[in-house]
Chain A
């Protein structure tokens, strides 16, 4: 793995306030392109809040206020003039609980392209849907069930369908917020294998409370923790191999070895 990959996202002094209280404090982080970056840390340390900043999913929360800069390909995405819908096409998100639309498998994947005017002719759309499902390692399971309701799929399949859905609109970054929490070990490992494949094309950022998953599946790991002022910050970041064999910060070591509280 090349150590010096281009930066896809550069976070500079990011802070998030909820109703005036500091929740995430002064985070600066470089997310390399086409690598998997994992965010680990105890519950409540601001990992998901931080992740949601990367595609401005905190915007709909009136109590939330964001300070600092987030550069996507060197352009700040935090400004008021930024096209947020386009941002969320480029930076997609997968959630903890799979959330397919209560429609057919095909309609789920076709939804985004249709709405964004990327659908083209019927044959092109069908091709796009097949390509997205293939890239999400789901095509074989659903190719004969494209008209079935998405909710009839297993949870693991539903999650991969959600991934196919966002792949259909040609993103650059995939954000994953505890994507495997609701899944069994088999489905989890399949998603991890899929992530590895996807990282050849897309930049991936994953928040996980499962340390072993971060250790297995990521290239870079950032450790977040609550500071004394009860705001979350990044206390250490490095190649995953280093973080899990010889972390520099005592608190990282304690967390990783399971010695906390």
Chain B
């Protein structure tokens, strides 16, 4: 795409920017939900957890508003080439963001379901997973607005970290349950929380894939092992 672009599509450009701004705002809401649900888990804050569950409706609404804006833009501005890929990518990304918010709300619900039982173990790997997730989301959305396909490619590698941490959590909680079956329900709560975060990481990889599609025009799965990646063209 050329650097300095002529301005005979000012309405189109304005509408695209508005969609991107809303997408970033949605990303912030997802980030808050992830961070909040983790804090609620660590601090056993049921009030905070409830807030996050209630806030999910706002995220859903924003998703539909953005999709509506994309629909209107396609109908009225007939985007082509890069513009078209951007709008299509944005529609997919907000779907992924909405699912992420669902997973974060799922973790908040876990806090509510856990009642007053003490945490089975101090939280170490789970918060690390959340941190990596949040970085991936922030970075992939930035890559989107900057049209940075190279950055998007790198983000996929971060998902390896999340998968690694998840394996660790799984093994650790499994051994708790094997050693003392009475810990099972508490272990499962933590396992579900970790699983939600692992799903969030997958969704963030999807976003990176969409960014790469947007910039390159090619839809490719971003595998952890680049040598095995396939062109789905």
Contacts and interface: CB of A to CB of B under 8 A. Distances in A.
User: Do A and B form a real pair?
Assistant: yes
Given A240-B76, A241-B76, A244-B76, A216 B11 contact: yes
A216 B8 contact: no
Given A215-B76, A215-B77, A245 B71 contact: yes
B8 A193 contact: yes
Contacts of B8: 186, 189-190, 192-193
A186 B7 CA distance: 11
A216 B7 CA distance: 14
A245 B75 contact: yes
Interface in A192-230: 192-193, 196, 212, 215-216
Interface string B7-45: 111111000000000000000000000000000000000
Interface string B64-84: 000000011001111000000
Contacts, number: 30
B7 A193 contact: yes
Contacts of B10: 193, 196
Interface of A: 186, 189-190, 192-193, 196, 212, 215-216, 240-241, 244-245
Nearest to B74: A245
Given A189-B9, A196-B10, A196-B11, A216 B75 contact: no
A215 B71 contact: no
Contacts of B7: 193
Chain A at the B interface: mostly helix, strand, loop or mixed?
A: helix
A192 B8 CA distance: 8
A216 B71 CA distance: 13
A116 B37 CA distance: 72
A36 to B, nearest CB: 11
B75 A241 contact: yes
A215 B11 contact: no
Nearest to A213: B78
Contacts of B76: 215-216, 240-241, 244
A215 B78 contact: yes
**Which of A190, A192, A240, A245 has the most chain B CB within a 10 Å cutoff?**
A245
Given A216-B11, A240-B76, A245-B75, 14 more contacts: A193-B7, A193-B10, A196-B10, A196-B11, A212-B78, A215-B75, A215-B77, A216-B12, A216-B77, A216-B78, A241-B75, A244-B72, A244-B76, A245-B72
B75 A244 contact: yes
Contacts of A244: 72, 75-76
Nearest to A215: B76
Please list the 8 inter-chain residue pairs (A to B) with the smallest Cβ-Cβ separation, ordered nearest first.
A244-B75, A189-B8, A215-B76, A241-B72, A245-B75, A212-B78, A245-B71, A193-B8
